[in-house]
Copies of this chain bind each other. A is one copy, B any other.
Amino acid sequence: MRAAVMYGAGDVRVEDRPDPKIVQPTDAVVRVVVSCVCGSDLWPYRSMPATDTGRPMGHEFLGVIEETGADVTGLKAGDLVVAPFTYSDNTCDYCAKGLHISCRNGGRYGFDGVDGGQGEAVRVPHADGTLVKLPAAADSALLPSLLALSDVMTTGHHGAVTAGVTRSDTVLVVGDGAVGLCAVIAAKRLGADRIVLAGRHEARTALGREFGATDVVAERGEEGIARIRELTGGVDKVIEAVGTRPALDIALGAVSDGGTISRLGVPQYEQGPIGPAEFMRNLTLTGGASPARAYIEQLLPDVLDGTIAPGRVFDQEFALDRTPDAYRAMADRQVLKALVRP
């Protein structure tokens, strides 16, 4: 099969890889229908040291089951399924708590002999625990929005849930990337009245307004904080969907005492400000990597009936062989989120 492999910063190649086969009786092989490039794929795209072996890329995909292992009981060949961005057994204590991202038998696509999602097919471990069957056809117009359940939409939702967003809230979303925009959708879905979106990419913030953002703040740094405070008087609930220190600093500057900052972007820093000043302000820092599997069934009806349309974050489509162009276009911020079709 053909699949995308990263060999170092800026070096993504689409090449021939062995066709996936059932290894464990709990595996399924999924023929990918749509996949995509994640904002988090851009971090290694910018910084990965060169390697000879390469790393299969992609952790968001939707496809048709081709084959199942002997122990798979809930899925069969021909089923259309979406994969959350990590696999999980859905039975361990963490999964039972809805924290599938910490599954004791879980793991990541592209590691430990498991294929990446940016390819023609994927062997999915713990298929019963991982994959969610979709009541849709493989050529449905809803595929992009269903694919978004794999990561961006369930991640945005995780931010809104952990920030405690509820009816009539004012919420700040920092970042106009695909996750930030999905966080806007999620905050609105949970009843937020006012959603301030901090971002400066006009096409993206325009989409954010369509998703439910009531205000857009394009200013950065202290100026951005001042503008958000002017608009809101300070915000109790912040979703930080970037992962950089400047983004965290905007969150810290705009949040009210006693408020909550939920982080969705993988932090590009090891240490951060959690000293006496933050302590005296009673700030709560929460969020983290989304347990996407826990949220898919919850959000699925709203995607199916069109209440939410997170697939609108995909603004360009690439054939699999053009995956390197998809990375380049996203890294250059020419494309918000690239859909990849084998």
> Which A residues, 277 to 315, have Cβ-Cβ distances below 8 Å to chain B?
278-289, 291
**Interface-facing stretch out of A19-27, A135-143, A181-189, A266-274:** A266-274
Task: Show 8 residue pairs from A and B whose CB-CB distance is below 8 angstroms, ordered by the A residue.
Answer: A101-B282, A271-B271, A272-B275, A279-B288, A282-B287, A282-B288, A285-B286, A286-B286
Contact (Cβ within 8 A) A99 B266: no
With a CB–CB cut-off of 8 A, which chain B residues contact A288?
278-283
A270 vs B269: C-alpha distance when bound (angstroms)? 15
Assess whether A341 is interfacial by the CB under 8 Å rule.
no
A179 vs B66: C-alpha distance when bound (angstroms)? 59
Contact (Cβ within 8 A) A289 B279: yes
> Which A residues, 231 to 288, have Cβ-Cβ distances below 8 Å to chain B?
257-258, 263, 266-267, 269-276, 278-288
A89 vs B269: C-alpha distance when bound (angstroms)? 39
Assess whether A316 is interfacial by the CB under 8 Å rule.
no
With a CB–CB cut-off of 8 A, which chain B residues contact A289?
279-280, 282
With a CB–CB cut-off of 8 A, which chain B residues contact A275?
267, 269-272
Task: Determine which residue in A97, A257, A284 has the highest number of CB atoms from chain B within 10 A of its CB, and name it.
Answer: A257
A338 vs B274: C-alpha distance when bound (angstroms)? 30
> Which A residues, 97 to 138, have Cβ-Cβ distances below 8 Å to chain B?
97, 99, 101-102
CB of A340 to closest CB in B, whole Å: 25
A256 vs B262: C-alpha distance when bound (angstroms)? 18
Contact (Cβ within 8 A) A274 B267: yes
With a CB–CB cut-off of 8 A, which chain B residues contact A282?
99, 101-102, 162, 286-289, 291
A274 vs B283: C-alpha distance when bound (angstroms)? 14
Q: A284-B285, A288-B281 are in contact. Are A99 and B267 (CB under 8 A)?
A: no
A159 vs B181: C-alpha distance when bound (angstroms)? 34
CB of A63 to closest CB in B, whole Å: 26
A273 vs B274: C-alpha distance when bound (angstroms)? 9
> Which A residues, 133 to 183, have Cβ-Cβ distances below 8 Å to chain B?
162
Known interface pairs A271-B272, A272-B272, A274-B274; 18 further A-B residue pairs with C-beta atoms within 8 A, sorted by A's residue number: A94-B257, A97-B258, A99-B257, A99-B258, A101-B257, A101-B280, A266-B280, A267-B279, A269-B275, A271-B274, A272-B274, A272-B275, A279-B287, A280-B288, A282-B286, A282-B288, A282-B289, A282-B291
A289 vs B281: C-alpha distance when bound (angstroms)? 7
A291 vs B285: C-alpha distance when bound (angstroms)? 18
Nearest B residue to A104 by beta-carbon distance?
B257
CB of A47 to closest CB in B, whole Å: 13
A271: contacting residue among B257, B273, B284, CB under 8 A: B273
A257 vs B162: C-alpha distance when bound (angstroms)? 14
> Which A residues, 199 to 216, have Cβ-Cβ distances below 8 Å to chain B?
none
CB of A104 to closest CB in B, whole Å: 10
CB of A159 to closest CB in B, whole Å: 12
A273: contacting residue among B270, B276, B281, B291, CB under 8 A: B270
With a CB–CB cut-off of 8 A, which chain B residues contact A281?
102, 288
CB of A11 to closest CB in B, whole Å: 23
